[in-house]
Amino acid sequence: MANVGTVDRGARFIAGLVLLVLALLPPAAPILADLGSWRWAVAAIGAVMIATAAIRFCPAYTLLGMNTCKRS
């Protein structure tokens, strides 16, 4: 059952994409300081955000009793 709404889905996708791009930038990129050992954690968080946007289900929302999806 979907519990991630349209606006939430779009925000998750964009934020996840930004995190993935930041994690894949070369260490000398002038945008941010080197992420160092956090690079893989940032990439994993970005991937999870994109995955939850794609399947429209967030396990954390279930645990917290949240639902941003409009009921029909």
CB 67 within 8 A of CB 29: no
pLDDT one-digit tens code per residue, 3-39:
999 999 999 999 999 999 988 877 766 666 666 778 8
What pLDDT does residue 64 have?
Answer: 94
d(CA 18, CA 46): 7
- Per the domain annotation, does 54 fall within a domain? yes
Range of the domain at 22: 6-64
Total structural domains within the chain: 1
The H-or-E segment that residue 22 falls in is: helix 6-24
At 5, the amino acid letter reads G
pLDDT one-digit tens code per residue, 40-71:
899 999 999 999 999 999 999 999 999 999 87
What pLDDT does residue 4 have?
Answer: 94
* Angle, helices 6-24/39-55, rounded to nearest 10 degrees: 150
Instruction: Please name which of 43, 47, 56 lies closest in space to residue 10, comparing C-alpha atoms.
Output: 56
What pLDDT does residue 60 have?
Answer: 93
- The model's pTM is 0.83
- Per the domain annotation, does 23 fall within a domain? yes
- Per the domain annotation, does 51 fall within a domain? yes
